[in-house]
Structure 1
Amino acid sequence: MSPILVKGIQLFLSLSILIILHELGHFIPAKIFKTRVEKFFLFFDVKFALFKKKIGETVYGIGWLPLGGYVKISGMIDESMDKEQMAQPPQPWEFRSKPAWQRLIIMIGGVTVNLILGFLIYAMVLFVWGKEEISQNAFPNGFAVAEQLKQYGFKDGDKILKVDGEQPENILDVSRRLVVRGASTVEVKHADGKKEVLSIPDSLGTYLYTQGALYPLTPRVEPVIDSVIPESPAALAGLKLNDKIISVNGEAITFRDEMVQKIKKNEGNPLSLVIARNKVTDTITLTAREDNTIGVSFKSPIKDIKINTKEYSFAEAIPAGIEHGYWTLRDYVSSMKFLFTKKGATEVGGFGTIAKLFPDTWDWQGFWLSTAFISIILAFMNILPIPALDGGHVMFLLYEMITGRKPSEKFLEYAQMVGFFLLIALLLYANGNDLYKAIFK
């Protein structure tokens, strides 16, 4: 089956689960407080529904537009904009007739479900599959360091001993902690054996992000070719799979990062590469492309490293899952600052970007990890104080509870309309970005 189709199916299933449970978060407290729920829909039923059935006072159904879902609660100004109902005198079973604290619980129910669900899924993944850990010893040659990071004392070949005084459980997470989480100190062991504690400025994460250095620390690899892009300079020059590059312009190299640096310094001039092939050396001349690449990828040590799996009992998995969910949420919120950069604005993605979170082949562990992540994202995005989102309703309810004054229904209608159009604009922009990247990048 096509990887695109597999990703699409996983995305559809994941969002369906999350939407239904989110709406149940509104539906259940509404019923507890004896508030009438007129509709409960998965996806939007603009003009018509694929399926619907009335049970009791509620119509349950599936819409044709897969952009979310909703529950229509009587007496509530929502995306349905039912002005006719709101023009009638308030009824005891309506949302607007209930005390503010009950309305608040109804509104935060969906976000609460998404947040708890994300934590629980992480806990179950840890219980069933455990947690992969990669120690520093997995990479005996240390890390190649991005140029943007070297000004802070990092050097090629560094081994990471501690981050903020703690030994990382997964050494590959260090780049993310530098870019997103904002580590303040990193203890390294340089290639010469000297240990040093490096201080990290608060602005480093944004700087690395805007410079495109999302992975400033990558495992050092030998320059052994894993694949060659057809019609690339490397292919035209005769480079092949398993060739090992041992010198560039007469200077010996041991690692891929050394080769990359020498190509960049060459400024587009012809390169003389000495390669080892089947225990025989040969010299090849080529010219790198404008982006200083020659059209090859190199064998990664990650394929061959030893990965330890930490197992959890059910009792251990619950707090560990909550902790993992907490850091996932915190990292995501921290990364929001990148949206206010020029690069960040171009990285906003829609459904295509979300689909990329899922594995190319069906893998339940990958599916549930992606679903947990999306659930936590939905919780955060929905609680933002934007009209038409749950957070917008919560904002007006808190205002009412603090001041004792309820915003007028006309004001709430206008706010809902403004919020709705903002969300539509954001949706079009995000998915437009996905479409542009798919066609032109």
Structure 2
Amino acid sequence: MEILIKASQFILSLSLLIVLHELGHFIPAKLFKTKVEKFYLFFDYKFSLFKKKIGETVYGIGWIPLGGYVKIAGMIDESMDKEQMKQEPKPWEFRSKPAWQRLIIMLGGVTVNFILGILIYICLLWGYGEKFIPNSNVKDGIWVQDSLAIDLGLKTGDKILSIDGQKIEKFGQLPIEFINGNNFTVERKGEAIKKEIPTDFISKLIDRGKNAGSFIRLRQPFVIADVPKESPNATSGLLPKDIITAIQGEPITYFDQAKPILEKYKGQSITIDTKRGDNSVSIPVTISEQATIGVLQGRLSAPDLERLGYYQLANKSYSFTEAIPAGTTKAWTTLTNYIKQLKKIVNPSTGAYKGLGGFISIGSIFPSQWSWYAFWNITAFLSIMLGFMNLLPIPALDGGHVVFTLWEMITGKKPSDKFLEYAQVAGFVLLLALLLFANGNDIFRAIFK
């Protein structure tokens, strides 16, 4: 059922983005009286799941869910319709239109993608606002127990001041900022310390697998999730949801403070103090030779941590006019972060290429339970990602056509149809290789990790 929910969200989001992207080409083509022969969701090699001709355009749904297209008359595109290109140009064909009109038609799709991403972010901020833990409110620093965080040079209690010289507003942003960054500064015992992020950091992060958890964690109280029956303290009176506040009279605020104290009382019987609801309860326990109490540790949600006074959450609400600049800024941040990640991917020394994923990876980012907030948030991200990817100067993508058109506008020389055909084929080969590599990565991770 979870897979079905993820797949449904993915297909709906992908279909929406494809249709609107292609509509971005379709509308200016029609405005400039250019004939549009086909408007398709997904590709229709050999046959279609559905098609209907309305006016001069055939609208349809293909059976290969790898994208979509509009077939514009007189344009060298996915259809590779060479016969049409051998004929004399007609007034209604793409190749007969002025360069500035062709440029607008080609930029229409990515323009829609960027505008859609901005609009979605504006509406989400207006409708839901934002709730997060400000990084400045993490007064006692982070909790470090992950080997990856240790390799970064982090220690429990470090306060992360900045990454690449930029202060981070939201604690939840830290993992992605470390991925995109090159250096960071922490405060440790009142001293500011600057450290470099290792080149192979992303490679190590990917090798951990998706179930390894975040390497940047909030310090948590020592809350008991369960007391197993085989625990030496099973009958001591400890209960799930108890929060340990002191060990043999020594107060603790966070879980990580317990171990050094427990080490002093290995094999001994001592008293611990717990917070149980609004009450404080003292309980005699036996400490094992491994310096443990014999309980399972629990984790509290951000609202629970706020309620208990550990962290203060920021809760921002936006009017519609306030959401406009905030949503635009969020879209810009999303775009710049994505560009930083691409730079890491094309640098082999980072190992980031191992994290490149295809449809399985994209589908997996949707939640296993239907959430309209998550759906629209992810759709906004994918829209901006799709817009940028289509702007890359690769033949067969919108960006390739834009480059050739700009060249024509600047030099006054139009590339020959034969050159455009060869460029289109080369672009398809490159895109196919990337598609196979990305989806091959997905399959490899699914089988071996």
Q: SS at the partner of 2:331?
A: helix
User: In the alignment, which of 426, 436, 442 is matched to residue 434 of structure 1?
Assistant: 442
Alignment correspondent of 1:267: none
- The C-alpha deviation readout for 1:145-188, integer Å capped at 9, x for no partner, is 4666679875421234666787644222233323315566x463
Distance 1:235 1:121, change over 3 A: farther
CA contact (8 A) 1:237 1:284 kept: no
Q: Which amino acid aligns with 2:447?
A: I
Q: Give structure 1 stretches of 5+ with no counterpart.
A: 229-233, 247-252, 262-270, 287-295
Distance 1:56 1:274, change over 3 A: farther
Q: Provide the aligned length of Structure 1 versus Structure 2.
A: 410
- The C-alpha deviation readout for 1:19-65, integer Å capped at 9, x for no partner, is 00000110011111111000001111111111111111111111111
Does 2:356 match 1:348? yes
Q: Distance in 1 between matches of 2:2 and 2:186?
A: 40
CA contact (8 A) 2:45 2:62 kept: yes
CA-CA distance at 1:407 after TM superposition: 1.3
Q: Distance in 1 between matches of 2:300 and 2:385?
A: 31
Q: Distance in 1 between matches of 2:66 and 2:230?
A: 47
Q: SS at the partner of 1:52?
A: strand
Does 2:201 match 1:208? yes
Q: Distance in 1 between matches of 2:52 and 2:269?
A: 72
What do you get for the CA RMSD once the two structures are aligned? 3.9
Alignment correspondent of 1:179: 179
Q: SS at the partner of 2:67?
A: strand
CA contact (8 A) 1:245 1:274 kept: no
CA contact (8 A) 2:163 2:182 kept: no
Q: Distance in 2 between matches of 1:371 and 1:272?
A: 55
CA-CA distance at 1:408 after TM superposition: 1.3
- The C-alpha deviation readout for 1:337-379, integer Å capped at 9, x for no partner, is 2213363122111111111221211111111000000000001
Distance 1:433 1:136, change over 3 A: closer
The 5 A counterparts of 1:394-409 are: 394-409=402-417
Q: Distance in 2 between matches of 1:173 and 1:417?
A: 40
CA-CA distance at 1:223 after TM superposition: 6.1
Alignment correspondent of 1:117: 116
Q: Which amino acid aligns with 2:156?
A: D
Higher alpha-carbon deviation: 276-285 or 126-135: 276-285
Q: Distance in 2 between matches of 1:108 and 1:239?
A: 68
Q: Give structure 2 stretches of 5+ with no counterpart.
A: 235-239, 246-251, 261-265, 275-281, 291-295, 307-312
TM-score by length of 1: 0.80
Alignment correspondent of 1:299: 299
CA-CA distance at 1:106 after TM superposition: 0.6
Alignment correspondent of 2:424: 416
Structure number, greater radius of gyration: 2
Q: Distance in 2 between matches of 1:255 and 1:321?
A: 36
Distance 1:308 1:245, change over 3 A: closer
Higher alpha-carbon deviation: 81-90 or 142-151: 142-151
CA contact (8 A) 1:7 1:358 kept: yes
CA-CA distance at 1:281 after TM superposition: 4.0
User: In the alignment, which of 306, 316, 334 is matched to residue 328 of structure 1?
Assistant: 334
Q: Which amino acid aligns with 2:431?
A: L
Does 2:9 match 1:16? no
Alignment correspondent of 2:81: 82
Q: Distance in 1 between matches of 2:342 and 2:19?
A: 26
